[in-house]
Structures are given as C-alpha cells and as structure tokens.
Amino acid sequence: MKDLIKELCQVPGVSGFEEEIRACIAERIRPHVQGMKVDAVGNLIAWKAGRRKAENKLLITAHMDEVGFIVKRVDDKGYIRFAAIGGIDRRTVIGKKVLVGKGRIPGAIGLRAYHLVSVKEEKIVPDMADLYIDIGASGKEEARKLVQIGDEILFDSDCVEFGNDRIKAKALDDRIGCAAMIRLIQSELPMDCTFVFSAQEEVGARGAFGAAFSIRPRIALVLEGTTAADLPWLKEHRQVTSLSAGPVLGLMDRQTIYDRELFECLRELAEEHGIPWQT
C-alpha cells in the first residue's frame, strides 16, 4: 500500500490538468471493473459488480487532483508570474522547486532578496503577485519558447520516508484516498459499487458535484485527507486529530452536516471490528 501511495503522489495532476494521474489510475483499475468512463468535467467513473446487487446505490469517491499554479505571464526578464490553483499557504512556497508546463521545465519560486526589502516588508507575508518563478531563461524570448500562458505548474517534491513509518510527499491530499479505492476495486466486493476519482476538488469540488447529480447515489462515502493537529504549540483541546490514532469519521465541515445514521453505522462497524477511530 505504501508503494502505491508513493507512486500516485509522484504523478502530476494539478486541478484542471488531471490527464496523467487519471491515466495512471485507469490503467490500474481497468482489469477489475465492468465499466469505466471519463465525464465532461474529467472525473474517472468506474463500476464494479459485487457478490450481490446493492439495495441502495453506493458511491465511493476520492479526488485525484492536487494544488498547484498556472502561468499568467512572462515578464521581460524571462521570469514567470503565476496564480495559485487551489488553497496554497503563501508562506510555504518561497524557494520551492517546481515543474512548468508539459515540458516539465524545472524552476524555483523566488521573492525579492532579503537585503532589498525594508524592515516593515520583512514582517509581511508576500502576495502571490510578488513572487516569480525562475526557469533560468536569459529573457522573455527564451522563456516563451519553453513556457506558454496557461501552462500548469506543479511542485517538484520527492516522496520521502522518515521517522516511524511516516511519509512526506506532495499530493497526499488525496492520493491516499485514491490508493484506498484502487485496493478496494482490486478486491472482491460484497455488493455492486460505483467509484469516482473526482477532478477539480481543489477549486471547489466541481467534479464531485457533477458526479453526484449524474449518478444519484443513495449513499456516498468520501475518502479524504484531513487536518492532523497534533502540533506542539496547540493546546490539547484544539488538537482535533492525531497521526496513527485511526481514521477520522467526520460529523460536519464548513459546508455540510453529514448524515447521522450513516455516521453511527460507520462508528458501530469500527468498534465491532476493533478499528480505532477519531472525529
């Protein structure tokens, strides 16, 4: 399972540019499903027969896209100006390695040098508009031969194991969910099931909304990453979840209060089978 997660995390799939990760997943599940299609939004939808027909139509979904950037313009000196795709903490991107466009041109995110800013500016988190990507071009003409307006930009980040069975990688949100779905598809199921590897979640869950309306399931299970808040500077009552403490059963988020009956069903199943869980 760990090797599968690591492989999926290394495949490009910025929101709106999911072609490579979708093809990777499709190749793995094709021998194990009875039907598969890509819809207009870019969702990969698969159907798998189980030992019996489901009384209630069951949908299991995880999103395959990841956060990244998009090229807005190339300035006269050959630096790339860009915008974020998805929610990205601006504090974390300075100095990060990236890959630009279909040619996967390597670059690095830069900011005005420390010795050129005022004392006041030192304390301000820069806007995305203040950042640039250096791909080593000598000027605009050279850069435009390599990069086009509208090209996707993804983080160039290795998958690294460290500590006690820990992984650091880009796109863990939500390639872990995708990996769990792939393993489920490759196994024998007790009932028929529809699987959706959704697109464009990072820009408003667009793929999942479209799939829900087209499939119209009775029950939907979403496999998603969530915040691990076991951090040293947080008070205990604010440490909502912890690594290695089991899967999280969500009660609600900023947009949705989840079905209470389904929550209780999952909680009872976890306790019956001795599976640790948190909420």
Q: How confident is the model at residue 164 (pLDDT cuts 50, 70, 90)?
A: confident
Gap between the Cα atoms of 125 and 118, Å rounded = 13
Is 201 tagged catalytic?
yes
Higher pLDDT, 128 or 66: 66
Gap between the Cα atoms of 228 and 240, Å rounded = 7
Task: Provide the residue ranges of all domains of the chain, joining segments of one domain with +.
Answer: 2-66+159-272, 68-155
What's the CATH number of domain 2-66+159-272, 3.40.50.300, 3.40.630.10, 2.30.29.30, 3.50.50.60? 3.40.630.10
Structural class in CATH, domain 68-155 = mainly beta
Would the pLDDT of 250 be above 80?
Answer: yes
pLDDT score recorded for residue 22: 98
Q: How confident is the model at residue 271 (pLDDT cuts 50, 70, 90)?
A: very high
- HSE-up of residue 164 (Cα within 13 Å, Cβ side): 2
Average pLDDT over residues 190-196: 94
Gap between the Cα atoms of 146 and 62, Å rounded = 33
Average pLDDT over residues 230-241: 78
CB neighbour class for 115 (10 Å; exposed up to 12, middle 13-18, buried from 19): exposed
Would the pLDDT of 116 be above 70?
Answer: no
Would the pLDDT of 88 be above 80?
Answer: yes
Catalytic residue among 18, 66, 152, 201: 201
Would the pLDDT of 240 be above 70?
Answer: yes
Gap between the Cα atoms of 276 and 220, Å rounded = 22
Taking each helix axis from N to C end, the angle separating 172-185 and 2-9, rounded to the nearest 10 degrees, works out to: 130
Average pLDDT over residues 110-136: 81
Would the pLDDT of 120 be above 80?
Answer: no
